Amino acid sequence: MNPKSPSLADTLNVQQFIDERPFSPYQWLVFALTFLIMVADGFDTAAIGFVAPALTREWGVAKLALGPVLSASLIGMAIGALVAGPCADRFGRKPVLLLSVLAFGLFSLASGYADSITSLTVWRFLTGLGLGAATPIATTLLSESSPTRRRSLLLNGMFCGFTLGAAAGGFGAAVIIPEFGWRGVFVVGAAIPLLLAAISLFLLRESPRFMVIRQWPIDTVKAALRHMTGAGEISATRFTPEDQATKAPGSSVALILSPGFRTGTLMLWLTYFMGVLVFYLITSWLPTLIKDSGLTLRQASLMTALFPLGGALGTVLCGWLMDRLNPHRVIGAAYFLAGVFVWALGQAVGHADYLPPLTFISGFFVGASLVSMPALAAAYYPTQGRASGVAWMLGIGRFGGILGAVLGGLLLQLGMGTASILGVLAIPALIGAAAVLYKDAVRRPKPALALSH
């Protein structure tokens, strides 16, 4: 063995130790499980939209009466993310992730037995708590299990599971509702996360970097590293989780809002908020906007389907580029081009030849810019505050989604045309580009800290 290997040094840098070894079967397992959790998350998040028409027919209620049901899970997701991050930084990634997945599985099951709008609203809010909590903790766990050289690609690939799950929700609902009714969609949506929670309980392990921060027994840390990387004996007696380990000032939330991180944190919030606003306004209103411009409902549906397809491809490419270039500039360029092509999409409404490629390209850049943000946040924060940093960015961003859905309806009521509404979306996209590029100039403290046992 090379005598300069970190495994023989007195102090071992955990991230460097992971970086210097091949991607192991266990790391593939972490990726697979977090990917499937995102698939379940996407399925459950999209389920209520596919269930709504059958629900209104069975209960004989107006579509407007479903407004609280549709928004309840979004509010729950925001709160779930804000609460889960600090909990994961205190109690661990694995227990909070398992609890989150178990929660949205159980409450989705309960949604299938709701007997009124009020009870369904409550169950969807509680489901949203679990959904909102699972995403940032899965991001954190995969980030801390991945080598730096491919972290962004892996995280963005994980988030493609959400898109796949949302699409599966549509196909699944088309099969399930005619045979078993709308309640069957929630039951299927519950079975997947409950199964994943059981599997993860036995196969997932706690993040070694969290173990170091919380000063777990040294033999436990070594065993976790050997299991993760397949390495042999580790003789180090002291550990540091990464190159820049920082003592948290009181709590993880205090850390991400401390002077060294505050500006970067605010820029992450602003960038993600703007991206979610654009995404939710487009996905909520694009079919209506296109249909109102003269196309048939079938054409509008097909055009809208191209948007997430482009986003999935853009997400993978953006992650690949982030691992090779300055990630801030990659995301900044994606936000800028998202604004340009969303504006162009508005100008093309009514022109059938231009709509398909522009819808696809707009989705490509909107999806790439938005979905790449958790990877950027995970790389920005140290282990002590990583889960809180990612979770609070996602939680704040959820309010951008609520605003986007409301803003679309408001602009329509004001009499704005399709071109004008999509043109307005160029503004938040450009603000997002400016904010992430400004963050690139923000420095964070980099004191080295070795943690001994």
CATH top-level class for 6-213?
mainly alpha
* 102/204 Cα distance (integer angstroms): 15
Sorted by where each begins, the domain ranges of the chain are 6-213, 252-439
pLDDT of residue 6: 43
Q: Tell me whether residue 43 is exposed, middle or buried, using C-beta atoms within 10 angstroms of its C-beta: 0 to 12, 13 to 18, 19 or more.
A: buried
Angle at 280 between CA 278 and CA 283, to 5 degrees: 105
CA 178 to the chain's CA centroid: 31
Residues of the chain with pLDDT under 70: 1-9, 62-65, 242-250, 284-305, 349-352, 405, 409, 418, 443-453
* 137/386 Cα distance (integer angstroms): 9
pLDDT of residue 102: 95
Element (H, E) at 451: strand 451-452
* 77/71 Cα distance (integer angstroms): 10
Contact 137, 117 (CB under 8 A): no
* 270/432 Cα distance (integer angstroms): 7
Residue in the block written with tokens 């392990």: 205
Instruction: Give the model confidence (pLDDT) of 374-424 as tens digits.
Output: 999 988 998 888 989 999 999 998 888 778 767 776 777 777 776 777 788
Give the strand order in the sheet containing 11-13: 11-13, 238-240, 451-452
Whether 252-439 and 6-213 are alike in CATH topology: the answer is yes
Question: HEC profile for 168-209?
Answer: HHHHHHHHHHHHHCHHHHHHHHHHHHHHHHHHHHHHCCCCHH
pLDDT of residue 203: 93
CATH top-level class for 252-439?
mainly alpha
pLDDT of residue 87: 92
* 419/358 Cα distance (integer angstroms): 13
Going by their DSSP bridges, the two strands 11-13 and 238-240 should be labelled as parallel
Instruction: Give the phi and the psi of residue 293 in degrees, each rounded to 5.
Output: -85, 0
Residue in the block written with tokens 């998350």: 41
pLDDT of residue 346: 79
